[in-house]
Amino acid sequence: MGTDTPRHITLIGAGLAGALLATLMARAGWRVDVFEKRGDPRVQGYAGGRSINLALTERGRHALRMADADDAVMRQAVMMRGRMVHALDGRLQLQRYGRDDAEVIWSIHRGDLNITLLDLAEQAGANIHFDRRLDAVDFDARIARFADGQGGLHPVGFTALVGTDGAGSSLRGAMQQREELGERTEFLDHSYKELEIPPSADGAFMMEPNALHIWPRGHYMCIALPNDERTFTVTLFLPNQGDPSFASVRNGREAKALFLRDFADAVPLIPELERDWDANPTGLLATLYLDRWHLGDRAVLLGDAAHAMVPFHGQGMNCAFEDCVSLAHHLQASSDLAQAFAAFEAERKPNALAIQEMALENYVEMRDKVDDSGFLLQRELELALQQRHPQRFVPHYAMVSFMRIPYAVAQHRSHVQRDLLVRHTAGRTSLEGIDWAAIDADVHALLPTLEDAVA
Ligand code: FAD
């Protein structure tokens, strides 16, 4: 192969990660082919089927900047400053995520984001083949077979395959047939349903737009994220069994009764609650673990295909975007594909596991803790310690959402910090008279500066 021949890579799936990775690789001079089972959303309309909008945070934005995609994406984003907590009696409380508007997260529309990234991938030179579902792979002959939905099958040669085909990855299935990947899926015993808050008659947002709204109710909760067309997407997370649950709330009429009892202030805002409930599917939630993400120099998985997670930290896409930057980096750094895939897996697997675990933990925090007085006192101490020790004590949410320190480091430090907050607030109702000298000594003893921690 001449040195001028562009290197070639084949991606399976042109969803969020696939479209971003295609852009990164094409811009780096690679020949990129992407095969997507759905039709082109720019022609047929977006058929996402789940989670209409997503929280975008610094990790994802950094990856978008690497692909020069940030400006285009941010034009459609709505800022969320914090959680707007809706109490049972309708009282509202805004809990800021960060210190000021430099520390916020963004709500983006999945379909718009996907279309923006597809445009950029094509502009960068990637070839996207729509209506091509991966059907089977011959790893020895390096031939992948795609179905076109009309009964046709298309064999295509490849150098290496990247699985960006999401949680139900077909490439993962094909790899698993060839070699044991150690796949394990743990379903959460909670599921979700999406509903919509339309704009008001004069086209305005019906609630405060610059917030992620939460109705915490102990074992279950509702959230709502703004869309730039002035709607909100509401998601109810509910257990599968018990009362209330998806077993006890069986149709739109019963859902309306639950909302009238537990989310009363939301009811007038969701005019089609009953109809949407009956029409929209109930989504399952699961965490996917794999022992191995790659097959020699022939195939590698990333994003949800490698490590799908529950959505409670709003990090699945952000993590998938970080994967894309990491894989692009390792592919550029080594001419040996097997080595690049192995280095990528070694870097990302511990971090994916950390955010999977933190996402599970965050469900309990969101549905049960955000309106708890002990939690709020811990949060007050957390902010005070951040001011006293900005290099050492960075709140958990900030490490995950406003920074790019590895998830595994953020997880470890968060556990140390949480333990410290719980110990020093135990039995207290305020921070008055607290022993700052003892706490400062603890911070110094237990938390190296962040720079040292990631060096
Ligand atoms: P996907 O986006 O699922 O894309 C996979 C693509 O592959 C699709 O286009 C699909 O059509 C295609 N495909 C599938 N099979 C084949 C095949 N056989 N052949 C060819 N193509 C195929 N993440 C966040 O960061 N923030 C959030 O706020 C957030 N909220 C969420 C809320 C909910 C309710 C859910 C369920 C998820 C949420 N996530 C969030 C997670 C996020 O949706 C995923 O992590 C992200 O979509 C993963 O991107 P991906 O490209 O790996 O997979």
Confidence band (pLDDT; 50, 70, 90) for 452? confident
Question: Average pLDDT in the 3-16 region?
Answer: 90
Closest residue by Cα to atom 31, ligand 1, is 311
| Residue of minimum CA distance from atom 36 in ligand 1 | 51
Task: State which of 33, 114, 115, 165 you would mutate to test the pocket of ligand 1, scoring each by most atoms of that ligand within 8 A of its C-beta.
Answer: 165
Residue 6 predicted with pLDDT over 90 = no
- Give the number of other Cβ atoms within 10 Å of residue 148's Cβ: 15
What per-residue confidence (pLDDT) applies to 1?
44
Test site for ligand 1: of 37, 148, 302, most ligand atoms within 8 A of the Cβ: 37
Mean pLDDT of 388-411: 96
167 C-alpha vs ligand 1 centroid, how far in Å?
Answer: 7
Residue of minimum CA distance from atom 37 in ligand 1: 311
CATH 3.50.50.60 fits 8-76+109-185+286-361, yes or no: yes
- Centroid of ligand 1 to alpha carbon of 359 (angstroms): 16
Task: Provide the 10 A C-beta neighbour count for residue 364.
Answer: 11
Specify the pLDDT at position 428: 94
158-204: pLDDT as tens digits: 999 999 999 999 999 999 999 999 999 999 999 999 999 999 999 99
- The whole-number pLDDT of residue 2 equals 45
* Residue 133, ligand 1, Cβ within 6 A: yes
Instruction: Quote the pLDDT of residue 51.
Output: 61
pLDDT at 99: 87
| Percent over 90 (pLDDT), the chain | 91
Q: How far is CA 346 from CA 176, 325, 352, 411, in A?
A: 19, 14, 11, 18
Contact of 186 with 231, CB cutoff 8 Å: no
Question: CB of 65 closer than 6 A to ligand 1?
Answer: no
Q: What is the pLDDT of residue 5?
A: 82
Q: From 147, 152, 140, 146, select the one nearest 177 (Cα to Cα).
A: 140
Q: Where are the alpha helices (DSSP H) in 206-315?
A: 252-262, 273-279, 304-307
Instruction: Evaluate whether 17 touches 28 at the Cβ level (below 8 Å).
Output: no
Determine whether the shortest distance from the Cβ of 23 to ligand 1 is under 6 A.
no
The stretch 217-227 carries a mean pLDDT of 95
CA of 16 to the centre of ligand 1 (A): 6
Instruction: Report the relative pairing of strands 105-109 and 53-56 from DSSP bridges.
Output: antiparallel
User: pTM here?
Assistant: 0.96
Tell me the pLDDT tens digit for each residue of 232-274.
Answer: 999 999 999 999 999 999 999 999 999 999 999 999 999 999 9
Asked whether 222 and 255 are in contact (CB, 8 A), the reply is no
Q: What are phi and psi of 245, to 5 degrees?
A: -160, 175
Q: What is the pLDDT of residues 281-297, one digit of tens each?
A: 999 999 999 999 999 99
Q: Which sign does the torsion angle of CA 421, 425, 431, 434 carry?
A: negative
What is the 8-class DSSP label of residue 82? E
Q: How far is the CA of 230 from the centre of ligand 1 (A)?
A: 24
What is the distance between the alpha carbons of residues 273 and 255, in angstroms, rounded to a whole number?
A: 8
The rounded Å distance from CA 286 to ligand 1 centre is 13
pLDDT digits (tens, 9 = 90+) for 125-146: 999 999 999 999 999 999 999 9
